[in-house]
Chains A and B, each alone.
Chain A
Amino acid sequence: MASQNLQSVPAELSPEELEREQAGQAYFDRIISEDSRIEPRDWMPEAYRKTLLRQISQHAHSEIIGMQPEANWITRAPSLKRKAILMAKVQDEAGHGLYLYSAAETLGQSRDKMTSDLIAGRARYSSIFNYPAVSWADMGAIGWLVDGAAICNQVPLCRASYGPYGRAMVRICKEESFHQRQGFEILLELSNGTPAQKAMAQDAVNRWYAPALMMFGPPDDDSPNSKQSMAWNIKRFSNDELRSRFVGMMVEQVKVLGLTLPDKDIRFNEETKKWEHGPLDWNEFKDVLAGKGPCNAQRLERRREAHDDGAWVREAAAEYARKQAEKEYAA
């Protein structure tokens, strides 16, 4: 598989290699123009591979780190049914992490390497998980708003040009839809409950609304990578476009909940036919991204601890497998 960058090192290629690269590029360009799919063994530009690897591994890390705020409430869930739903949900997230790491591995990087990048602080994950889940209602708000925003982002990714990613996203989106409905239902139950429960629900929506909107990424005029990703059919809609659609959906659903969104400026712009929202604090977004969120250190430390504490188990499993293979070979 070609691993050199056509743009940067063509001079070093032999004529045969150059021909192969050019044929590869032509094939790639055709696949993209036909809106068809690139598969792991196909030639692809190095920058495409890198972009995907970054995006898929970040997505995988987000699933894994995203388990923590919800795992925080498993032992305290206020009914056994809710406890079961929450456990199943967090378990689904581990599953999503696994599919995504597998998809990323098809691009030539091992899960071990991605994990070590994560715990060394060299990789990113969705910034929203650096906020704390301080009340039970946060389980509702995370499901409704955070998973809801994630779905808006992810549904178009089901037809991302890279096959393994698109296919992983199909399954993930199905489960995420279920999660989002569960979150909505938690809030609905709280909102129709005691005044204390309703206040808990409103407080959670107030805290998660803006971070959820910022999950779509910076505004379009400040999102340098978006254009290339859209040209490569990885990304299908711009950040602002997705954000606007999301706001439009939430504004209807919040009415059913009997709660309000903490944004007085939401309106439907008749001219652009788009939903608009109030200003978001992008400085806070950048701060949290830069490690200044309330839980950045805690989240990474938990991941590191689980990884380090589990090292002897993984070593034992590998050693046992080696010995078994040896036995079979000898037999």
Chain B
Amino acid sequence: MTAPVNENENKDFSIEGHGDISVGVKGAGASGDGSASATRITPGNALRPEDIALEIRKGQVKPSDDVAEYALRIGDDGLILAQRLGHWISRAPELEEDVALGNIALDQLGHARSFLTYAGAAWDKSEDDLAYFRREHEFRSAHLFEQPNGDFAVTIARQFIVSHYQFELYKRLTGSTDATIAAIAAKALKEVDYHRDHSAQWVLRLAGGTEESRRRIVRAFKLVWPYVEELFEDDELTGRLAESGAGVQPSSLRADFDQLTGEILSEAGLDDELALERIPQSLGGGRQGKHSEHLGYLLAEMQVLAREHPGASW
């Protein structure tokens, strides 16, 4: 524990001390720093969704329609995954994983909030308008993100794919010609790098642990790998964005993704057993709003309260 924590330790014994329960009404939550937490370290100069919203209100930034569509896709990926991961908190295999999965969920939600806030500027919508008041077919997330948590192995396999994909994506987007996209990506990249490490370590542990854990991680990869191809599909939108330099063609990430995931899977001794190249790839369609059966339930739960009180502020 560091010095600032101890400085209160001996001098203030009163009940009104540092753990006080006074609520400076003006101060309470006015910072908007919703994700602040002493157990969470945000690297770099954290760009917060509130900062982006402020820039939008001042008319300093506004995405093109194409960039907004693109930000919507990336934001939806993060939002749907955060919703999935949030379910683990209080249910993880050990407390350290409650914290770790909670952290990853928070990071994903943070990225999603930034991307959705920015996207919404094109259509005069807030992050919450987009999250709570769109219908299933209006979401642009890829199918991988809405896949159920399954057991811990399925969650790890999904996270392993996601974080390697996001790492390659954000790495490139830090050079986006759209300054807001570049700034969000720069923050996200550092966090996703940690997610990559976390999931890779667990892939190694589960593959090299017990017979049961190996059986489960193999099954998990077979379950989620069909949703990999969709992540790397190009379309007209990404073509135009790659041209302008605001975005990238998803297919351009594939070689690096394959190499880095391949290294871990090979170290885990899973490559032969999985024979990933032979796993049929799902048709996808998430970027066009065609989803699996899972998303409807996820949205029903996520949106229920907000929709009961349309127009309310929380």
Contacts and interface: CB of A to CB of B under 8 A. Distances in A.
A76 B205 CA distance: 33
B99 A98 contact: yes
B19 interface: yes
Contact of B29 (A98, A144, A181, A319): A181
Contacts of B255: none
A84 B109 contact: yes
Contacts of A167: 1, 6, 9
Interface of A: 64, 67-68, 71, 74-85, 87-92, 94-95, 97-98, 101, 136, 144, 147-148, 151-152, 154-156, 158-159, 166-167, 170-178, 180-182, 184-186, 188-190, 193-194, 196-197, 236-237, 242, 245, 249, 253, 256, 302, 305-306, 309-320, 323
Contacts of A196: 309, 312
B21 A315 contact: no
B304 A316 contact: no
21 contacts: A82-B314, A91-B37, A91-B102, A95-B99, A97-B95, A158-B17, A177-B21, A180-B21, A236-B13, A256-B25, A302-B90, A306-B92, A312-B212, A312-B213, A313-B206, A315-B210, A316-B206, A316-B210, A319-B209, A319-B210, A319-B213
B18 interface: yes
Given A92-B38, A98-B96, A315-B210, A136 B105 contact: no
Given A306-B91, A317-B209, A159 B37 contact: no
Contacts of A184: 23, 25, 28
Listed residue (A148, A166, A237, A249) with the most chain B CB atoms within 10 angstroms of its CB: A249
A80 B205 contact: no
B110 interface: yes
Contacts of A158: 8-9, 13, 17-19
Interface string B203-218: 0111011101100100
Contact of B306 (A78, A89, A245): A78
Contacts of A186: 314
Given A88-B106, A313-B213, A317-B209, A306 B93 contact: yes
Contacts of A144: 23
A318 B38 CA distance: 29
B74 to A, nearest CB: 15
A187 to B, nearest CB: 10
Contact of B98 (A94, A152, A170, A190): A94
Given A88-B106, A197-B309, A166 B37 contact: no
6 A-B pairs with least C-beta separation: A310-B93, A173-B19, A316-B209, A316-B213, A91-B102, A313-B93
B277 interface: no
A256 B5 CA distance: 30
A155 B17 contact: yes
